Structure 1
């Protein structure tokens, strides 16, 4: 933090503005001669035992107070574009004065003005722009002195220096000290990159300042190291950090070489690692540790990993007979006792068949499942073995380093990696059933026999397995009967007459294993009384059909009976009759003979002790607006907004002030600001509403230019339209619908507010309201309302179209810097606002419908809500973008510079498109003339530090418009 000016130790340089302000003084802990103040401008005071010089004012009994105090010229050091102003002050409670205090306020204003040179005592109010309204957290009473400290920020400074000014418009206050300073990010080393001292970030739209750094010794970076300096003087978000080279590790912001016995193979900020097992130890700065003798790394092993040896042989290899008669067995074994330090052990099985003394590979004649190599499990199934042959199986263990076994001799004490099993298999093939035949049949029995074809002579009797079942496709459950027979024929009894059966026969081996099976054959028992059976079936079918018809008749009768009792339900649901009730209609509080009765009817009274004011968040027509807390019995404590009525008000001002509460109290909708209550029975009147954390919609969007997608913006429009539909349904017109009068909460819900200009619609057919005068917001008002002072819901629809444009343009001012006369003239000549950048075509078409000259053809709010709802339900409809013409959307001045371009300097051009926060970026990049600007492409704009998509597009489209300046300027000839 670097001080530019400080009143605590050195307040020299502050002067009273003009001699008429003789009663305003500034104080500090300095001798008067050091301060160089004007002789009439200071007064001595004793505060907390210290003698101080003060600037104070307390003219609460006089009308139209407008007192100013200005500093001398404050030079802007380095490139600080954002400074902090810390104020210490005292404000006296307005309630401590008697009723004669007509203009008493409890706030004052801070202003600033930039300049490239000291203008001396010259002063013009128009040179200053407001920074903030300053309100005390603690107010001084008659008996107790309370000092307040507040800090405000002056942003976007670009000239050589600036002035500060303080405006008092009716407070009783004293200014104690003013300290002006800016923040810097100190020189530092982050992520092994050195960064210089840097002035903190620029402004609202440039919260972070990017700074390039340099890697420390023995460190490298793939991209240039960068870091961001925040507005609070803190380093954040390092990018492209530096990393120590191989053989070095990070120690206390340096890169030190690895110690003996340690290594580091890659560029990183990791510490050096201890050499893994089975490796050789090298000297300092090692990149890797080589393997020791008889140890290896697999080709896929990292050079940083341990080395391993060859695995030993599998153990306990055994063969288990499962279905020997079918030529099957199971091989299993145990993992090797020594895996060589690896986990990627796999196995391969080799099969050899021997007849007599001759052996050869089994080849494809023997099947190994799941495979013969690459096995992970310690088992394999063997099938298709031939009888009367000997088989030898060899199982070998492998690992990732087994390929090195042929390149070197393993250690002498390491066992071989193979395990061998020799087994002789002797079995007899079971015969195969080749055919079945029906020998005899009756009503309840069948006699069957079958032929077999054995593969080899069968020395012992063969047994057979017979399975049969009924052939009945209509049943869900099938019953099988299984018989084990000693001969090749059978007689089966207890069968059903006239029934088909399916039979299957299999020969069994001596061990009981089934052999080949026959084709499934079908045989049927004899049928007795076939005709009688047919008649019975017909009678049964007729009975079933009759029962079914009876059931249908009963069901139809029941349905008709039920339908008769609920005939009107499908057409007229019970909710329909509720909807027929008349809608609630708004009542104008000004129609009450006693306006206090309207307040009592539509707003609930709150005791002031239940309301706590915390912070000034704005200024309204009648007084300050505070953020506060409402803690009333029976209510949940929560944040609220508190509108206050300034002291010295008239009774008419009080009635006008409270009429807004009478209006809000009649509304209950999620998109209308909610009234919590009013304070009317005490001296200081207040209106208490719900607190909207994100404030006004226009400012919220400006702070997030280009950062929100179209879908989210359309969702915000939908909420506003829903609130306006509710108001129009109550026969109510707003008259001042604009983004500044829409408030946004933490959930990004938009709510319509500010009912100060709102009026009720009369009962005439057109629903118009004729005003007797008053201010009209020209840029948001329909042409018929401007010309004839007639307001309808259709004129609110016109205003809603302007709000839609504001939302899609992220808070841009409608019609830019055109005067009100130019706006009215352009509208009457059929000019309409062009589509903002990236505005969906469907949204812009709705805007144009809202701006139709004939108000009867404009859509109504129910139509608008329905259309926006459809767009939100179909996000694809938002992808088509309306045509964008930068010559119209970015307004250019009509004068030309010396180079023939519309702007004389880059800073002037950037200021015209509200991108002046990037002036320093262009200067640092060497882009100092408009000719250079015209040569820039999108990549050039990105390279100078414009990161936000919305800002990038705004600058790029402006350059495009500059290239076609002749046609651009002609557009604005009106």
Structure 2
């Protein structure tokens, strides 16, 4: 509404009749205007109302009123009453319909149902009228009110309590942000919010031929009707370029292209390519030209290379050296390589050629050679060969024609024979033995004879040589009961080949046959083994007799105590010079088009956390959790944010949260993990207080321990193990998450620890005392934290140490206070907690031990009854042989010393060969394993060992 443009009567309702009066007047520019005046200053108790016509608010929530008025200075009016005013009041009434003119009664106006906006005073008042009759000193005031929500419109009301004034003009309006095209996105006209400080979100949509770059696309409309800084944007599709930021994108003309989305401009087609349509995203190659698999759209089209030139060969017995010049035409590419094709030919016809044997050796190789030289060896003597030297580049696989090549034929010369592969002992006496052998795999001609070299192993001197025309020999004149080292080589007209590897053969003792020797050796071995077994048996019997009435004792197997070969070791991403390299190595990059954000489920240190869907190409859609990096991040924040992905990407275990991938090549930056329906373990337990049987809680604890055992095997310390950092899926599987505080565990010392940066935050209630006092983190400190997690689980998410302050917790632990057992907690579980909370970190159980203990509890549910103390036997920290009279490990320095103390030195090679290479591994040998180990040697006295 704007009364400045009105020339007819306004028709507002006034009360009482002698109050406000509508008159025609002039503004300061002598334009005719309709005004309302009131000036009953000579009468007491004034209460004059003026009600506007109905005003439709048009969905606006905040209304602005601009009032132009004049007020007479009370002091300038002679004989005025003391009730003279220089102010008036502004009111409004929300309604769906027009207020009737019949409401003129005193009672209605005495109880006017209007909401007050403000009492309005003049900045300047006038004291007289100029000669033109115009009122001077016009005041302009603007007021706003809202929010409006109870009706489609409203009335304004002006209340005069005894002023001499005129309403020159009233303008009623609302504010809005106009429709706009910004960042290639269209934003519709948007009304401002209910408050002057409100921000109203307007969702944008990409203009034609544009696509989203960052989502969501939105602008904020502020209370003044101004657009704020946009979030998200669109850009031109591939094949289109912008005229300017406000106009739709235009298509690339023929002969040009644009290969990717973005603000770039169309480019001319590269050399040897063309585009015959508009909006081309790629220029097609002309006939005979191609693009390689790794070529970019803006790269020129190239062709296949020509054949190599001027090949030269040098034959040396059964080896060939080939050298050549590069081709004249490389196809305008720099990725030229060569392949060598070898064929063995029996005649001059190519049809009679066959591929070379796999035994033929090519140095440096036969495929993807970058140099122009190759040495080919281990060919057959007196044999014809054909070698094809092929030129290949990045588009050779695109051409319908075979690779260009240059062929050369050569014939090998005579050559010495290859090595005799093995020797066999046919018979043996006290003074001789008979040997035989197969001929060399590549005789390279007719074998003329063999040379046999042998010497006494005990002396290692004065080797003897004999000749043999056949592949067998009898060596005579030897010493009884002596070992001899023997080697053989073959000879052709080209000379001798290389000697075979050394092999040891034994003559018999005087008067002994082979059977007698075997019997004697078996007796000696059996006697010494029986002695060893007797020692072990006595020790084992002593253990069983002193271990109480229960005869069955379970020991850990050897495999439970040793890391399997090939176990990965965690790599700290912060050790990379470029942290982005760690992300590329350990985290899969995901196309943002495969990710769909559904709803916000929380907020993290770096931005919001969403629930969403991931639809990889060719795979089933799955629910995921999406962590995003907030807008305006620094490079350091981005590095720290992505470091967690670099850590998670190294883990692959059912009880570790699984990383699906990352989005780093577009905004927002995202980390995408598997979705855990039941959220954090602590809050999940609090929501389900008392709902699970104890054995199910133990199963959840077992999963957590299995996950941390896996991390420990990778030399990784979590440092923030707590129920809040354990996530639970719909099948109640618990998975370890949140690797923000974790760091690499160094293994180059006998006491691997991590020293945190000075002043780093530590979760005191979950942290071992040595980690709090000295910032020393190990797997043992994670064991302490696991004990706190066990207490949280058994108490259904209760806060550890209740409302004690962090300092009170530290003091209590220092004075040997430990958390009591939660209600209905089995004794075995509380005992496990107490073991985890040992002050001496070396006395705490290891995670393999914890998993084993929990497995035994699950297999024996009776042990989980509240009040029972039937603790299933777990892995011992000491070996039974050491606990009952066997030598203490602290008094020996090696496996050899330990065996010597047991008088079992003769088994040293067997122990070392079976993997017991260090004292820590010896402690893991079970009594059952010892019996099985020794028994196998009683049954198999001979074992083959390389000399």
Instruction: Say whether the fold is shared (TM-score over 0.5).
Output: no
TM (norm. structure 2) is 0.36
TM-score (ref. length: structure 1): 0.35
